Structure 1
Amino acid sequence: MQKFKVQSIILISIAFILGFSEFIIVGILEDLSAAFSVEMSTVGYLVTMFALIYAFSTPVITTLIGPRRLQNVLLLLMGIFTIGNLATALAPNYVILASSRIVVAIVSGAAISVAMAFGTHLAPREKRAWLIAWLYSGFSVASVFGVPLGTWLSAQFGWRSAFYFITFLSLMILFLIKVSLPADFRQPSSGSNRLKAQLAIFKHRQIQLSVLITMFSLAGVYVVYTYLRPIFSTELRINTSWITIAFIVYGFMSLLSNQFSGKIAEQRGLITMPKIYVFQAGLLLLLPLLLNIRVLGLIDIMLLGLTMYLINSPIQLFVLGIAEKEFPQSLVLASSLNSIFANFGCQF
């Protein structure tokens, strides 16, 4: 059990560092704009570009993994991730910066998918929902704590220091992956036509519905999330000095959302979600009416944050359950579906 706890911390750390690297750009947009003399909107494209490349590259890489040892695959992906962040830290111009972010985006989705596969393999059945919830929470922790930390490092020591710090943490995680995760874990072989065998999972009706649920679930909430800053400042007329606090509170609500997601998965799973979606739809319908009442508007937004990720663990465990029984050769690809279609949903 002690070994499982250590392995769980390593897997959660992978999620954290991947989220830290992805989200930090939001906190240092102004610094990058000034450093490379480009428009803020141009730097902002890095965020959209990252999400799209993440979504498109992940299924390609996961289908190429096949029966290879997943520890070696994860070491390779995290090694490229580390080099990509070091290249970002050293970038002499905006083109190199953007190119390094593309490299990081290409491997990030596959890396968390392999980590999810490890989590499913290592966790006792009664601990799966807990570990999956914490893997998703790693991204929330990166948003709540990582981005403010990176922003502080950027303000104190320059924006490059944030990526040097990410590189240092990544090197530590690489070492821990090598010494702590099982070296012989791999997917079953899918035969000669490997690609066709892995993609067969998309023929399953419940898999098709699952990815649509994930995509439209995030698309609905991200309509609000994308415009949180103008909602806080213009609609709710929150003082500028309090907006950061509002974002931190929202981040904690998203962290709680992932934790409650695990609790839902442990109990009734997807059966509970229709009631939650009815509640979420009510919050979205009420929001325009409550924006004129600051306190009620804030409560509505924070409750939306609380419902934001409740689907994660139930849908992830549902998809992985289907993959284990019917498509074991597609385990890593199945682990990636939630992340892939969540990113597509975010772009709507």
Structure 2
Amino acid sequence: MPLALYALAIGGFGIGLTEFVIMGLLPEVGADFGVTPTVAGYLISGYALAVAVGGVGLTALLNRVDRKRALLLLMVLFIAGNLTSALAPTYEVMLAGRVLAALCHGAFFGIGAVLAAGLVPVHRKAAAISIMFAGLTTATVLGVPFGTFLGQAFGWRSTFWAITVIGVVAFAGIAALVPATKTAATSAVPAARGATSATEAAPSASAPSLRTELSAFRSTQVWFSLVATVLGFGGMFGGFTYIAFTLTEVSGFAATAVPWLLVLFGVGLFAGNIVGGRAADRNLGRTLLVLFALLTLVLSGFALVAHLKWAALVALLLMGFVGFATVPGLQMRIMDFAAKAPTLASGANIAAFNVGNALGAWAGGLGLAAGLGYTSPLWAGALITLVGLAVIAVAVRLRGGEYARPAPEPVQVL
């Protein structure tokens, strides 16, 4: 795989760390600024909302910009946001820093996924995307526990200083390793690295206009993909949002064990992301159908066996594995059906992941509020995923079964 994919993964690691590490530091941050836990929680919900806005808005604004340059601009935004958080004198400034960093989240993964897919042959596109998203999963497995420890040991601001440094490293990696892309088909094209002549590097087509990018949303299959993303991720997060309560109140684990149990969940995420990407490259439609069905079964099974510690551990690992194995395929599917103008649709799908997070948290909370017990969020997640399975099944059926994967336009290396 090209080294450029690993530079993108470093950026994804920093972004994932920014999104999730605040959960472990919320008590310290709230106490420092003298705000209630509910108000401190806006640092999480505000981030998620900004991700959804930036995933579509910034992607549209950067549509005509060379993808490498766009990613560098987004990393500057990321660095500025985390630097603001590290220096924030008030809660309001801290919230502004969180929002600023979040704006780059959706656009980075949306644009980065399109660029990553264009760096490899068509049969390895989903695997390439999974490498970029591996940075996000690594942040969950290793970054969040380490960031929480760092913040508790040296103050929460030290964590955001560390994330700022990661942003600088990612910027340097993207600048050095990610190839620039030509957006004008009529300009002269130098030979690509490794090519023996300029004729081996054919020029790419001009970048689609915003109107062309928006036209992708006329496709029914694009909307099927967006809805499937919301439901698939919503189902997993329906169970995951309240998993600490399930593990302590139903499984009987001590509260101090929860962070380490979440590492187990993160290991599942990391492995599922890689395996799901490879499977999606072989047969995208079938992979998504199988994974949605398995996720429904895993969530249901978890609810049934949560009272058994050993079974809860197995179910937690499987929930992470199957839940995140869907991500490369879901991202690849929308890019396939918006192949002539994939960038904005890709960014919209990243926003859909975050809408799914909110949907899952809301649905799981309904069960708890109704007094249905601490396994009710898992049942809610299973129901959401079951609806997602029906959506995927209808989408594949309308296409007459598995569909042919369109070849991407080549990325021009300068």
Please report the TM-score for the alignment, with normalisation by the length of structure 2. 0.77
Aligned to 1:122: 119
Q: Match of 1:266, as an amino acid?
A: D
> Which of 312, 316, 339 is the aligned partner of 2:350?
339
Structure 2 CA distance for aligned equivalents of residues 258 and 322 of structure 1: 21
Percent identical among aligned pairs is 26
Are 2:264 and 1:249 equivalent residues in the alignment? Answer: yes
> Which of 82, 90, 110 is the aligned partner of 1:85?
82
1:18 Cα deviation after fit = 1.0
Instruction: For residue 66 of structure 1, give the secondary structure of its aligned residue in structure 2.
Output: coil
1:23 Cα deviation after fit = 1.2
The 10-residue stretch of structure 1 (20-29 or 237-246) with the greater mean CA deviation from structure 2 = 237-246
1:299 Cα deviation after fit = 2.4
1:226-245 residue CA offsets vs partner (Å, 9 max, x unmatched): 00111111111112332222
Are 2:217 and 1:220 equivalent residues in the alignment? Answer: no
Structure 2 CA distance for aligned equivalents of residues 137 and 23 of structure 1: 15
Superposition map of 1:225-244 within 5 A? 225-244=240-259
Structure 1 CA distance for aligned equivalents of residues 267 and 276 of structure 2: 14
Instruction: For residue 72 of structure 1, give the secondary structure of its aligned residue in structure 2.
Output: helix
1:292 Cα deviation after fit = 2.8
The 10-residue stretch of structure 1 (86-95 or 161-170) with the greater mean CA deviation from structure 2 = 161-170
Residue 315 to residue 240, structure 1, CA distance change in 2 (3 Å)? closer
As a proportion of its length, which structure holds more helix?
1
Residue 131 to residue 285, structure 1, CA distance change in 2 (3 Å)? same
The 10-residue stretch of structure 1 (49-58 or 205-214) with the greater mean CA deviation from structure 2 = 49-58
Q: Can you give the 5+ residue segments of structure 2 that lack an aligned partner in the other structure?
A: 184-204, 360-414
Q: Match of 1:247, as an amino acid?
A: L
The 10-residue stretch of structure 1 (176-185 or 136-145) with the greater mean CA deviation from structure 2 = 176-185
> Which of 330, 351, 354 is the aligned partner of 1:315?
330
Structure 1 CA distance for aligned equivalents of residues 113 and 54 of structure 2: 17
**8 A contact 2:82–2:97 mirrored in 1:** yes
**8 A contact 1:132–1:262 mirrored in 2:** yes
Structure 1 CA distance for aligned equivalents of residues 263 and 126 of structure 2: 26
Q: Match of 2:112, as an amino acid?
A: A
Aligned to 1:95: 92
> Which of 276, 279, 284 is the aligned partner of 1:264?
279
Residue 277 to residue 146, structure 1, CA distance change in 2 (3 Å)? same
**8 A contact 2:6–2:132 mirrored in 1:** no
**8 A contact 2:59–2:343 mirrored in 1:** yes
Aligned to 1:46: 43
Structure 2 CA distance for aligned equivalents of residues 11 and 144 of structure 1: 18
Question: How many residues are treated as equivalent by the alignment?
Answer: 338
1:180-205 residue CA offsets vs partner (Å, 9 max, x unmatched): 22233447344xxx433211111111
Are 2:329 and 1:275 equivalent residues in the alignment? Answer: no
Q: Match of 2:351, as an amino acid?
A: I
> Which of 264, 288, 304 is the aligned partner of 2:319?
304
Structure 2 CA distance for aligned equivalents of residues 300 and 181 of structure 1: 38
Structure 2 CA distance for aligned equivalents of residues 222 and 162 of structure 1: 25
Are 2:66 and 1:69 equivalent residues in the alignment? Answer: yes
RCO higher in 1 or 2 (8 Å CA, sep ≥ 6)? 1
1:104 Cα deviation after fit = 0.9
Structure 1 CA distance for aligned equivalents of residues 49 and 158 of structure 2: 26
Structure 2 CA distance for aligned equivalents of residues 139 and 66 of structure 1: 24
1:74-96 residue CA offsets vs partner (Å, 9 max, x unmatched): 11111111011101100001010
**8 A contact 2:85–2:98 mirrored in 1:** yes
Q: Can you give the 5+ residue segments of structure 1 that lack an aligned partner in the other structure?
A: none
Aligned to 2:224: 209
**8 A contact 1:71–1:185 mirrored in 2:** no
Q: Match of 1:219, as an amino acid?
A: G
1:103 Cα deviation after fit = 0.8
Structure (1 or 2) with the larger CA radius of gyration: 2
Aligned to 1:158: 155
Q: Match of 1:205, as an amino acid?
A: T
> Which of 177, 180, 184 is the aligned partner of 2:174?
177
**8 A contact 2:291–2:322 mirrored in 1:** yes
The 10-residue stretch of structure 1 (96-105 or 196-205) with the greater mean CA deviation from structure 2 = 196-205
**8 A contact 1:14–1:115 mirrored in 2:** no
CA RMSD of aligned residues (A): 1.8
1:176 Cα deviation after fit = 2.3
The 10-residue stretch of structure 1 (163-172 or 284-293) with the greater mean CA deviation from structure 2 = 284-293
Instruction: For residue 2 of structure 2, give the secondary structure of its aligned residue in structure 1.
Output: helix
Instruction: For residue 68 of structure 1, give the secondary structure of its aligned residue in structure 2.
Output: coil
Aligned to 1:19: 16
Structure 1 CA distance for aligned equivalents of residues 307 and 63 of structure 2: 54
Residue 106 to residue 274, structure 1, CA distance change in 2 (3 Å)? same
1:285 Cα deviation after fit = 2.8
Aligned to 2:385: none
The 10-residue stretch of structure 1 (58-67 or 275-284) with the greater mean CA deviation from structure 2 = 275-284
Residue 43 to residue 208, structure 1, CA distance change in 2 (3 Å)? same
1:264-296 residue CA offsets vs partner (Å, 9 max, x unmatched): 112222213323323322233333332333322
Residue 155 to residue 126, structure 1, CA distance change in 2 (3 Å)? same
Q: Which runs of 4+ in 1 moved over 6 A?
A: none
Q: Match of 1:57, as an amino acid?
A: G
Q: Match of 1:331, as an amino acid?
A: P
The 10-residue stretch of structure 1 (81-90 or 179-188) with the greater mean CA deviation from structure 2 = 179-188
